[in-house]
Amino acid sequence: MRKEGAAKDVVSGIRSAQQVEARVLWYELAESLNAVENYLQVAAQLAGPTRPASPRKLTNILGKALEQAARAREIFHRLRRGQRRNREAGRRNLRSRKKEGRK
């Protein structure tokens, strides 16, 4: 019985840590996407007829938007990898419970 309680505590702790990690990654993703939006808004203003900017400045702003988009893509992939790991861990846990039930 004690082993089961300890195992449940460990699993609960792992899930809690995974949830915190996912929340942090979602926050980072939202932050990157907001930065992309802001950079593109500035680029649109700089490219407009009322406030024309130098091509170098516009290229710099668009480069920053691309960097943030790449960052967002990497964060998204990290979230998907974590999701897959969680699913696989859940399946392993289910299989081990089924095996224990058969004994």
Interatomic CA distance for residues 66 and 39, integer angstroms: 9
Overall pTM surpassing 0.75 (yes/no): no
The pLDDT value recorded for residue 65 is 97
Q: What is the pLDDT of residues 43-100, one digit of tens each?
A: 999 888 887 788 999 999 999 999 999 999 999 998 888 888 877 777 777 677 677 7
